[in-house]
Structure 1
Amino acid sequence: MRRKQKGVICGVDEAGKGSVLGPMVVAAVGCREAGDLAPLPIRDSKALRPKQREAIYEILLRDFAISIVTIDAAGIDEARSRMSMNECVAELHAEALMGLRPESAYVDACDVNAERYGRTVTDYLDFPCDIISEHRADARYKIVGAASVVAKVTRDRAIKDLDEQYGNIGSGYPSDPVTIEFLRGYVRDYGNPPPCARRSWKTVTNLCQTTIADFL
């Protein structure tokens, strides 16, 4: 077992938690001092343009310690058969942290109770680490914003790969009409949702029932 890295602080965030298509990606970024990130224009990845995210991602990959954990649609469905989605995210946050083993870490809380979420992440760790769990941590702390960028770029690349396989699937989120139209068309043509769809999502279940009913 690797020892924790003295003096290392981490930020952890995820991308794709609420998506109905594609993977969820959790990233941890580590540094020695918070000031190490000062030169970078980092904030919540959703507030950055794609080219900005890509440029920052390349710098982070080159100059900082990074741990990335990806779980595909089938893996999410399996995890949800055993635990809540928040517990699943907490377990993956811990897994990403175990790749770097910092002394302290800031995590973007997925639970309405931020302190409870921090305790859940701590329970999944196999080493001592001071966890600071807050809502909107990606906008408050650059180290979490850095993790947000890494997670978002990694997931965007995975969605691009799915586009090449299936055609335009949109963003993968239930609020995206392109995503819903892709799912509806796939179920109509093949009778089942695609492998990249999270079957445990109500969006998929309801869409399958509605689309199949059209044939009855």
Structure 2
Amino acid sequence: MQVLVGGIDEAGRGPVIGPMVMAIAITNDMDKLRAMGVRDSKELSSVGRARLFSIIKSMLIYVDYEVIEPRIIDDYVYMNALNILEAEVATKLINRALGRVLLKVVYIDSPDPRPERFRDIIKKNVGSNVEVVAMNNADKLIPVVSAASIVAKVVRDSIIEKLHKEYGDFGSGYPSDPRTIAFLRDWVRRYGNLPPIVRRSWSTVRKLLSNGLDRYL
């Protein structure tokens, strides 16, 4: 009997613009993923990610993802509960997978420095037949989590590409990107508000709007 192993990771937790994407990948052959050169998506070029994405999609037993929009992220950030959001989405992905495949163990890249705390939130709400293993840096250590990170990143990149076409060039969407900051400043200057693609809870936005425009938040 094949032992199916899952991995979960996110892309886009840090940007001030755009959604976060969480993905689950399930395989019966982690050695094959490792031999293919699957590794953390942040260590791959966009071309490398796209190439591996097209290959791993066809060889994985199961793939799924969830897109979390900025307004949902904001709700949880205001409650200081972003890790809770990730745990809830991971739970949803696991339970959906369990409805389709006999998943035995799932590895999750933990955003919490105490992975067991993150694991326990998830474990309470998934079936007892699946083992949940939360780890820091799992995206670098566990090939199936690396595969999930590639799926999440490629899906998010495609969403960002569409948002660029709709809203204009906002750069990477990260607070450290001068193009992103320039985009936010210009948008507020022109419209006195923010587009729905922006995470209003981010300190970057609060600072930009500290000249009195924060009443629009």
TM value normalised by structure 2: 0.89
* Cα deviation code 1:116-156 (max 9, x no counterpart): 11112222435642111111111111111000100111111
* Cα deviation code 1:14-69 (max 9, x no counterpart): 00111111000000000123224243211110110111100111112222110101
Deviation at 1:82, TM superposition (A): 5.1
| Higher mean C-alpha displacement, 138-147 vs 91-100 | 91-100
State the partner residue of 2:202. Answer: 201
Does residue 43 of structure 2 align to residue 42 of structure 1? Answer: no
Alignment partners' CA distance in 2, 1:210 and 1:122: 45
State the partner residue of 1:154. Answer: 155
Amino acid at match of 1:92: V
Amino acid at match of 1:13: D
Alignment partners' CA distance in 1, 2:77 and 2:34: 38
Q: What residue ranges of structure 2 are gaps of 5+ in the alignment? A: none
Q: Number of aligned pairs?
A: 209
State the partner residue of 1:186. Answer: 187
TM value normalised by structure 1: 0.90
Alignment partners' CA distance in 2, 1:106 and 1:126: 15
> After the TM superposition, which parts of structure 1 deviate over 3 Å for at least 4 consecutive aligned residues?
79-83, 210-213
Deviation at 1:79, TM superposition (A): 3.5
State the partner residue of 1:78. Answer: 75
Alignment partners' CA distance in 2, 1:159 and 1:128: 37
- RMSD over aligned Cα atoms: 1.9
Q: 1:27 aligns with which of 23, 27, 30?
A: 23
The DSSP-based 3-state class of the residue aligned with 1:12 is strand
Q: What residue ranges of structure 1 are gaps of 5+ in the alignment? A: 1-5
Does residue 99 of structure 2 align to residue 98 of structure 1? Answer: no
Alignment partners' CA distance in 2, 1:39 and 1:211: 55
